[in-house]
Structures are given as C-alpha cells and as structure tokens.
C-alpha cells in the first residue's frame, strides 16, 4: 500500500508570493490533515478536510487555505507569504472510522 505522497519536496518562494502544496492520501483514506512544523514551534494543526469539506481549522490566518478534491487529494495554498511561513508542511491521511493519521514526507517551504 502506497503511503501519503506530497509534492513538491522543496519549495523556495519570496515574500509576498503564493505557494501551493499538494497531497495525495493513502488509497481508501478520505480525511486529509495539514500541519505546519516550524523550527522551535513544534507541529501545529492547520486544516482538516473530509469528503471535500473543511471540518476544522487551526489558529492560522485566512491566507492559509486549501481544498480537497473528489479523489480525496488535497491542496494547501498560502498567500502573501511571510518569512515566518518557512517550515515543513506535513500532510496526513486517515481512513474513516479509524483513529490513526499517517504522515507524508512533507514539503519544506523556504520563504526568502
């Protein structure tokens, strides 16, 4: 069974630009979660999508947004990038009725 995949692995942007990060969940998983892991701040919950709907959102500004497609893949968009958005962005997926979230390898975003 293939794991969660994310693209790109690395992304370099300049301040003010927009970044788009992509995630494909494990086959059969319908929920997708996005987390930010910034240096010194630990893993912070960003967004949760399930069946195409946003179910919960972390304490992040509206310039962090996303969506889930009919095939359950997901996209995270970060607008008006700021230097402090530099972090590892992790996607996780979960099968309905199960507890565990499985993480992808992450996208490392660097904002210059």
Partner 1 sequence: QKEVEQNSGPLSVPEGAIASLNCTYSDRGSQSFFWYRQYSGKSPELIMFIYSNGDKEDGRFTAQLNKASQYVSLLIRDSQPSDSATYLCAGRGGDAGGTSYGKLTFGQGTILTVHP
Contacting positions for partner 1 (CB under 8 A): 31, 33, 35, 42-45, 48, 55-56, 58, 88, 90, 92, 99-106
Taking the complex as a whole, the smallest distance from the CB of residue 95 to partner 1 amounts, in Å, to 13
Which lies closer to partner 1 via its Cβ, residue 14 or residue 27? 27
Residue with tokens 């390898």: 105
Nearer to partner 1, 67 or 102 (CB): 102
DSSP 45-86: EEEEEETTEEEEE-S--TTEEEEE-TTS-EEEEE-S--GGG-
Closest CA to 110 of 73, 75, 84, 78: 84
Minimum separation from the CB atom of position 27 to partner 1 (A): 18
Name the maximum alpha-carbon separation found in the chain.
41
CB of 38 vs partner 1, minimal distance in Å: 12
């Amino acid at each position: 069974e293939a794991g969660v995949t994310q693209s790109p692995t690395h992304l370099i942007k300049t301040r003010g630009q927009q970044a788009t990060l992509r995630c494909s969940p494990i086959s059969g998983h319908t929920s997708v979660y996005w987390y930010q892991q910034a240096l010194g701040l630990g893993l912070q919950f960003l967004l949760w999508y399930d069946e195409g709907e946003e179910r919960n959102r972390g304490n992040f500004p509206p310039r962090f947004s996303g969506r889930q497609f009919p095939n359950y893949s997901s996209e995270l968009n970060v607008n008006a990038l700021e230097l402090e958005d530099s972090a590892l962005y992790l996607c996780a997926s979960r099968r309905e009725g199960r507890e565990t979230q499985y993480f992808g390898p992450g996208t490392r975003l660097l904002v210059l």
